[in-house]
Amino acid sequence: MKTPRALPTPGPLPEDRGALFRWFRRGVPLAVAAFAFAAAAFHAAGRGWWLLAGVGAIAAAWPSFLRGRAFLRNRTAIMRQDTFWAYALRPLARRLGQEDAWILSFCGHNNQRVREAFAGHRAKRALILLPHCIQMARCKAGILDDLQACYDCGLCPVGDYMNALLLNRWEGRITNRSHKAYREAREYRPDLVVAVSCTDRLLKGLAKMPEIPCYVIPLALPHGMCVDTDFSVPHLMAAMESLVEPRRPSGDVQPLRHEGIA
Ligand code: SF4
């Protein structure tokens, strides 16, 4: 058995930036409400309609203010509305060359609320979802069928992820199709999902699973889409340690390792 490599240290959970999305998500309906109430004050003939429009706009903005337990209780409706806004303004962001920044801001807004919701009571049944493209393309280890087929050679993030999973007894899946990841998540019935993916799939995932709180981590794409992608294992570990009840057994546990190379 080879000498175990040191696991990366998690460190603090990085700040999530959701100001851009939040500004539009709240700002647009609140501006509409202000305009409608001003119009109601000056346009007596259509006052009823303007008041109705103003109240409707306030109702559209209201879910973006819900936090903590209220956020978890109303999560499905909140995420449906938030993803509507994310998709509605995506073409504009694309035209301005800010599509990734827009989606990342939406993800940051989501992450902030998930962090607040689990700050007081951490999740007990969490599931990690990772895409198969984090495995080095030329590696033949059959990690889709058995994660421990990984030789932990250190050439891609799978080895560190596997060790962190085994050491902490976390539940995780690596899948090569989005629909399989959604199915795995629904079957496992977690109270929190920590998902890693490209921005497009993160947005899609948040839209497809509005009922499950998801903390999302974007992939780095140093070689383009879907090939030899990368992500921060310390970020994943920090998310799990901050948001999830520890399951690590007492004592010094060493993960199993295979001899070999990728
Ligand atoms: S054997 Fe190496 S390249 Fe293959 S999945 Fe494991 S860490 Fe990645």
pLDDT in tens, 30-45: 999 999 999 999 988 8
Q: Give, using CA atoms, the residue closest to atom 8 of ligand 1.
A: 156
Spacing of C-alpha 61 from chain mean position: 22
| Mean pLDDT, range 56-77, rounded to an integer | 94
Output the ligand 1 site: residues, CB below 6 A. 135-136, 139, 141, 143, 150-153, 155-156, 158-159, 262
Whether 161 is covered by a domain: the verdict is yes
Whether 149 is covered by a domain: the verdict is yes
Cα(226) to ligand 1 centroid in Å equals 16
Q: Per mean pLDDT, which range of 16-30, 140-154, 238-252 is the poorest?
A: 238-252
Whether 6 is covered by a domain: the verdict is no
Whether 180 is covered by a domain: the verdict is yes
Structure tokens at 188: 């496992």
Which of the two residues, 185 and 4, has the higher pLDDT score? Answer: 185
Whether 211 is covered by a domain: the verdict is yes
Checking if the pLDDT of 249 tops 70, the result is no
Q: Give, using CA atoms, the residue closest to atom 6 of ligand 1.
A: 150
What is the structure's pLDDT at 259? 55
Whether 118 is covered by a domain: the verdict is yes
| Mean pLDDT, range 182-211, rounded to an integer | 95
Best of 130, 143, 160 to mutate for ligand 1, by most ligand atoms within 8 A of CB? Answer: 143
Reported as a pLDDT band with limits 50, 70 and 90, residue 120 is confident
Q: 209 is in which domain, residue-wise? A: 19-243
Q: Per mean pLDDT, which range of 68-72, 87-91, 215-219, 244-248 is the poorest?
A: 244-248
Whether 7 is covered by a domain: the verdict is no
In tens, the pLDDT along 70-93 reads 999 999 999 999 999 999 999 999
| Mean pLDDT, range 136-161, rounded to an integer | 93
Cα(158) to ligand 1 centroid in Å equals 6
Cα(261) to ligand 1 centroid in Å equals 8
Q: Is the pTM of this model over 0.85?
A: yes
The atom of ligand 1 lying closest to the CA of 159 is: 7
- Which residues, in sequence order, are CB contacts of 257 under 8 Å at separation 6+? 1, 2, 4, 151, 152
Cα(6) to ligand 1 centroid in Å equals 16
Whether 256 is covered by a domain: the verdict is no
What is the structure's pLDDT at 228? 94
CA distance 166 to 169: 5
What is the structure's pLDDT at 7? 75
| Mean pLDDT, range 103-132, rounded to an integer | 95
The answer for 255, left when phi > 0, alpha when psi is -120 to 50, beta otherwise, is beta
| Mean pLDDT, range 52-80, rounded to an integer | 94
The atom of ligand 1 lying closest to the CA of 154 is: 7
Whether the CB-CB separation of 37 and 51 falls below 8 Å is answered with: yes
Best of 147, 156, 176, 259 to mutate for ligand 1, by most ligand atoms within 8 A of CB? Answer: 156
What is the structure's pLDDT at 256? 53
Reported as a pLDDT band with limits 50, 70 and 90, residue 10 is confident
Domain count, the chain: 1
Cα(245) to ligand 1 centroid in Å equals 28
